[in-house]
Amino acid sequence: MVALSDHTVQTENRLTTQSLDIGDNTLVMRSLDWDRDRFDIEFGLQNGTTYNSYLIQGDQVALVDTSHAKFQDLYFKLLNKVIDPAQINYLVISHTEPDHSGLVKDLLALAPNLVVVGAKIAISFLEELINAPFKSQIVKNGDQIDLGKGHVLEFLNAPNLHWPDTIFTYDHHTKILYTCDAFGAHFCKDDIFDEDLEALSPDYRFYYECLMGPNSRSVLSAMKRMDQLPGIDTIATGHGPLLRHHVEELTERYRSWSQAKATAEQNVAVFYLSDYGYSDRISQAIARGISKTGVAVEMMDLKAADVQEVQELINDVAAFVITTAPAAGPHATTTQAALSTILAAAKDKQFFGVFESYGGNDQPIDPLLSRFKESGLREAFTSIRVKDTPSEALYQACEESGVDLGQKLTLKENIKKIKAIDGDLEKALGRLSSGLYILTAVKGGLTGAMLASWVTQASLEPLGFTVAVAKDRAIESLMQVGDVFVLNVLETDNYASLMNHFLKRFPPGADRFAGIKTRQAENGSPILADALAYMECKVVSRMECSDHWLVYSEVTVGKVSKPDSLTAVHHRQVGTYY
Ligand code: FEO
């Protein structure tokens, strides 16, 4: 392996590039976006991201993906130092989202004879986008292109990871698998590979939950195809570090997370329209909320869906969520056809949800709602109306709408399970006593609060404690590693009104603190004025415990308001609910 190439360029917005030989005649060119903002739902951990592009040189030359348009100057400076773009024979498009294909048009201007290689839907999307003739080659699962010098590229279908157009590319010579979004992480560091597994793990998991979890069945299908390959030495991702040191560990995590989701008893379809307004991000936020309740999600892009697939999916699911159709434009007809199929195939009393995409051409939402309701369907959450560029608060409300839908589907089953278990073991567990607390958090424009009782001190130096947070709690998103919050301790004989307030079921996006006296902690989170004590906390690590996250946090500041008062204590009958 050669040393890191000296092509790093710093700009005001902390955009840099780097490159490295990662295999025989194979180079990675990474665009490092250190400060990418968090308006995208999956940028929860504030570690920026990278856009990775790859150059493979046999007798012929292939480029796998490009970069985001914001890297136009930096990317082409780097590329030109490595090769004259006119010498590139193939551009493999793993996925057409603009963070990977944002510079295709510019590249074609420099290399008009190159052949763009991609899935059928990727090529048709690019034809729309570029709006000028270019050479292309549609590839299907198992197709190969021989670049010479042993570099035989084989293509694998990987639909829905993350759009329906996704393909993986496997180089039989270097045993490198190019996977674009899959197995990636929004984790911007100088390290090119996955040496530091511990540092990478929280971002890797969060990214999976946001982008891949809602497509768990597609993940498993793609991994079946990967299992047929003659060995994978490196996974060349589109975001974050490349996987080389922990390939098996990290890919098997995808498999086990996806298997757990794919075996869920209930399933919801989420119909969106890729590259139309904010449909993609909004649908992901809803899907993430649904997934948090243990309900499986099947995403379907209406751009690629055929009527038969839509009908089969509707027959298979307990509920569906759909974007409004655009009134005009290339995908208006397909979306309308899908809507008619859904209306014809939907079952009486099936739950549904509707969202606008803010694509500039959304049809009015109310007639669609009326049509669904008149067909006997039940609205699972108040329809999501988007009147401006979506804020973080809107994405949070979308996620909470998804949680509401998932909880509606699982409510009966959960109550049945709780009632069915009332044995000695469960009664014994119920004898574990605990205090009563309110967690409060603010992150960006988001706020959250939760009544907690599974709280216990866990370390002396530094001072730290753990709290168990159910996976479907809205505040869970605000308690990622590095996040801060306040632990408010409730007072015995004076906790009922705070407890009842925070036990309430809040509608998606509602202000949890309306009518509650608070002041701001040093870390920005609300301190409840009527709490007995408070502690300012920072999340250090998280452990997954089936249906809860066990969150370990260090305490930095704390104070007791009434030194002679005691903490409110919670006693239960059985250990199967709170
Ligand atoms: Fe990284 Fe779905 O684009």
Report the pLDDT value the prediction gives residue 1, as an integer from 0 to 100. Answer: 35
- pLDDT tens-digit map of 449-487: 999 999 999 999 999 999 999 998 989 888 988 899 999
How many angstroms from the chain centroid is the CA of residue 557?
A: 32
Task: Pick the residue whose CA is nearest to atom 1 on ligand 1.
Answer: 181
Query: Ligand 1: which residue has its CA nearest to atom 3?
Result: 97
Question: CB of 100 within 8 A of CB of 238?
Answer: yes
Three-state DSSP class for residue 21:
strand
pLDDT of residue 424: 87
Which atom of ligand 1 is nearest the CA belonging to 238?
A: 1
Question: What would the pLDDT profile of 529-561 be if each residue is shown by its tens digit?
Answer: 999 999 999 999 999 898 999 999 999 999 999
pLDDT of residue 380: 95
Q: Which ligand 1 atom is nearest residue 163's CA?
A: 2
Measured in angstroms, how far is the CA atom of residue 211 from the centroid of ligand 1? 9
CA 312 to chain centre: 26
Residues sharing a CB contact under 8 Å with residue 545, sequence separation 6 or more, in sequence order: 468
**What whole-number distance in Å separates Cα of residue 428 and Cα of residue 329?**
63
State the pLDDT at residue 45: 61
Q: Provide the token pair at 164.
A: 């329906």
Question: What is the pLDDT at residue 2?
Answer: 36
Judged by DSSP in three states, 284 sits in helix
Residue 97 CA to ligand 1 center (angstroms) comes to 5
Q: Tell which residue, 467, 434, 448, 444, has the closest CA to residue 535.
A: 467
Give dist(CA 501, CA 313) in Å, integer. Answer: 40
In this prediction, residue 260 carries a pLDDT of 87
Cβ contact 485:479 at 8 Å: yes
Which residues have C-beta within 8 Å of that of residue 59, sequence separation ≥ 6?
147, 148, 149
**How far, in Å, is the centroid of ligand 1 from the Cα of 338?**
25
Q: Which residues pair with 570 in a beta bridge?
A: 434
Kindly give the parts of the chain with pLDDT less than 50. Answer: 1-11, 39
Residue 141 to residue 325: CA distance in whole angstroms: 31
Token pair of 84 as six digits: 């004259």
Query: Which ligand 1 atom sits closest to the C-alpha of 211?
Result: 2
In angstroms, the CA 115 to CA 95 distance is: 16
> What pLDDT shows up at residue 4?
43
Q: How far is the CA of 131 from the centre of ligand 1 (A)?
A: 22
Provide the pLDDT for residue 41.
Answer: 55
414 CA distance to ligand 1 centroid (A)?
Answer: 36
* Ligand 1 centroid – CA 207 distance (Å): 11
Domain 265-413 falls in which CATH fold?
A: Rossmann fold (3.40.50)
The dihedral sign for the CA sequence 193, 197, 202, 205: positive
Q: CA 352 to CA 372: how far, in whole Å? A: 8
pLDDT value of residue 183: 98
d(CA 542, CA 485) in angstroms, rounded, equals 15
Q: CA-CA distances (angstroms) from residue 427 to 416, 421, 571?
A: 17, 9, 12
H or E element that contains 49: strand 49-57
- Res 351: pLDDT: 95
Interval between CA 4 and ligand 1 midpoint (Å): 25
Ligand 1 atom with minimal separation from the 98 CA: 3
Could you tell me the pTM of the whole model?
Answer: 0.82
pLDDT of residue 421: 65
| pLDDT, position 576 | 79
Cα torsion angle, 479, 473, 501, 451, sign: negative
CATH class of 432-570: mainly beta
Each residue's pLDDT tens digit, 310-360 = 999 999 999 999 998 888 887 788 888 888 899 888 888 899 999 999 988
Distance CA 72, CA 66 (A): 10
CATH homologous superfamily, domain 7-261: Ribonuclease Z/Hydroxyacylglutathione hydrolase-like (3.60.15.10)
pLDDT in the model for residue 44: 61
CB atoms inside a 10 Å sphere around CB 500: 10
**Cα of 456 to ligand 1 centre, how many Å?**
40
Query: Which atom of ligand 1 lies nearest, measured to the CA of 97?
Result: 3
Nearest atom in ligand 1 to the alpha carbon of residue 239 is 1
Residue 415 CB neighbours (<10 A): 11
Which phi and psi angles does 287 have, rounded to 5°? -60, -40
Ranges of each domain in the chain? 7-261, 265-413, 432-570
Q: How far is the CA of 111 from the centre of ligand 1 (A)?
A: 24
- Phi, then psi, of 347 in degrees rounded to 5: -90, 150
- Degrees (nearest 5) of the Cα angle 252, 162, 509? 100
Q: How far apart (Å, rounded) are the C-alpha atoms in residues 143 and 47?
A: 37
Residue 414, both tokens: 């959960």
Per-residue confidence (pLDDT) for residue 67, from 0 to 100: 97
All residues at 6 or more sequence positions from 563 whose CB lies less than 8 Å from its CB, including other chains: none
| Gap between the Cα atoms of 314 and 338, Å rounded | 11
The alpha carbon of 383 and the centre of ligand 1 are apart by a number of angstroms equal to 27
What is the Å distance from ligand 1's center to 238 Cα? 8
Can you give the pLDDT at residue 43? 57
Ligand 1 pocket list (CB less than 6 A)? 95, 97, 99-100, 162, 181, 238-239
